[in-house]
Amino acid sequence: RELTGEVEFENVDFGYNPDKIVLHDINMYAKPGQKIAFVGSTGAGKTTITNLINRFYDIQDGKIRYDNINIGKIRKPDLRRSLGIVLQDTHLFTGTVMDNIRYGKLDATDEECIKAAKLANAHDFIKRLPDGYNTVLTGDGSNLSQGQRQLLAIARAAVADPPALILDEATSSIDTRTEAMVSRGMDALMEGRTSFVIAHRLSTVKDADCIMVMEQGRIIERGTHDQLIDMKGRYYQLYTG
């Protein structure tokens, strides 16, 4: 790997259009391998921050550094290849399960794809499909359950072996057993990688190295779960409902 997964934001301001700033003076630092979680009400700016980690947009002011390199100077396609993204709605295309996993790293061998599927906890369900890894998926993956689609998304990210990851936790209801499978796959994927997690359930952010509480485009509180509970502020309110 070229990058270790160290990510730093320094005084970052951002607006989708320059007249309306939606992120104000964001400062954060993630050591390689740390898990950073974002919580906060709808419209607070969680997805926007992760869009910026990917450099999908140019920032108005400040710096975003990867391993001490200001990534404003790196061409975006290079960077995107170095990051893993597991989104809520993974795009699956018409093709085999194997090819859908391989999409994470186009020159991956079958063995690498299977190894990634095992890490993602997806291997067992794939083996039970009519044609295993050669099963053809419909364009939107509608012949799989939502949980199975998520496991494939994790496998796809794992095959790329990225130093940093962005995980957008699903809001929609999957059953408890599937959820446990998905979260085991997620945990295996996050191991040893810097992870930015947008969590919709506070129970899944408890073990984060740092939880960022966002409101109206600002980080208003940060710390571990225990620290934030002791603070008895916004996080405490969210947590205790």
Per-residue contact string for residues 103-122; x = within reach of Mg ion by CB under 5 A: --------------------
Among 22, 25, 47, 179, binds Mg ion (CB under 5 A): 47
**DSSP one-letter code for 135:** P
Q: At closest approach, how far in Å is the CB of 48 from ligand DGT? A: 3
Determine if 22 is a binding residue for ligand DGT (CB under 6 A): yes
- Binding to ligand DGT (CB under 6 A) within 42-101 occurs at 42-48
CA distances from 96 to 57, 93, 113, 133, 190 (A): 32, 9, 12, 7, 26
Which does residue 50 bind out of ligand DGT, Mg ion, none, counting CB within 5 to 8 angstroms by kind?
Answer: none
**Nearer to ligand DGT by C-beta: 56 or 93?**
56
Q: At closest approach, how far in Å is the CB of 42 from ligand DGT? A: 3
Nearest to 196 by CA among 25, 37, 8: 37
Quick count: other Cβ atoms within 10 Å of Cβ 28?
A: 19
CB proximity list for 176: less than 8 A, separation 6 or greater: none
Q: Which residue has the tokens 């992760």?
A: 50
Q: At closest approach, how far in Å is the CB of 165 from ligand DGT? A: 17
CB proximity list for 154: less than 8 A, separation 6 or greater: 86, 120, 121, 122, 182, 185, 186, 189
Determine if 16 is a binding residue for ligand DGT (CB under 6 A): yes
Residues contributing to the site for Mg ion (CB under 5 A): 47
Residues contributing to the site for ligand DGT (CB under 6 A): 16-17, 22, 40, 42-48
